[in-house]
Amino acid sequence: MSERGKIRNPEAQRVIRDYSGLRFYETITPSDIDGYVVLLDHLFFFLELKFDNAAMKPGQQRAVTRLVDVVTHDGDEGIYIIADHWVSAGSEVEIDAAICPVRRWYKNGRWNVTEPGKEPTVRQLMDSIIADYSRRQP
């Protein structure tokens, strides 16, 4: 039996996906989202985990912020969380997304940047957003 939230087939995740045949306008290719979950039927969380404060590619950031903007309407809220990890490629260590420190997040059309040394974990930020949303409900 598999544990909920864990990759069921790690070997399949190591398979390289080649999107080069889906290149458009010379520089645009598909991107990925590291995590996605809908909670309480109205909170749409998109997660991006970056190694050691690696820069976001502008196209990927633009694509996901647009997606978040599209789902944010009529009581639905999109949230894009960018967090850091320090697990090197090829390592046998698993990344625990819940404890990754949040670098910044996008919500309601604006970026929120965490204060260095006071970054919430992904789980802490998500719990805070869920609690805030629940307090605003009738």
Q: What's the chain's average pLDDT?
A: 86
Share of the chain above pLDDT 90, in %: 49
- Whole-angstrom distance, CA of residue 107 vs CA of residue 46: 11
pLDDT tens digits along 45-79 = 999 999 888 888 888 888 899 999 999 998 899 99
Q: Which two tokens stand for residue 104?
A: 């910044």
Say which residue, 47 or 138, is predicted with more confidence. 47
β-strands 43-51, 77-85 pairing: parallel
Q: What does pTM read for this prediction?
A: 0.84
pLDDT at res. 81: 96
Query: For residue 93, what are the CA distances in angstroms to 33, 50, 61, 85, 96?
Result: 20, 15, 27, 11, 9
Q: Which tens digits make up the pLDDT trace of 75-99?
A: 899 999 999 988 877 777 888 999 9
Q: What is the pLDDT of residue 118?
A: 92
Identify the CA nearest to 126 among candidates 110, 105, 108, 109.
105
Q: Could you give the CA distance from residue 8 to residue 86 in angstroms, rounded to a whole number?
A: 22
Annotation: CATH topology of 31-135: Trna Endonuclease; Chain: A, domain 1 (3.40.1350)
DSSP codes, the chain: -PPTTS-S-HHHHTSPP--GGG-BTTTB-----SEEEEETTTEEEEEEEEETTPPPPHHHHHHHHHHHHHH-BTTBEEEEEEEEE-PPTT-SPPP-GGGSBEEEEEETTEEEEPPTT-PPBHHHHHHHHHHHHHHT--
Alpha-carbon torsion 43, 72, 131, 134, what sign? negative
Domain segments of the chain: what residues? 31-135
Q: What percent of the chain has pLDDT over 70?
A: 88
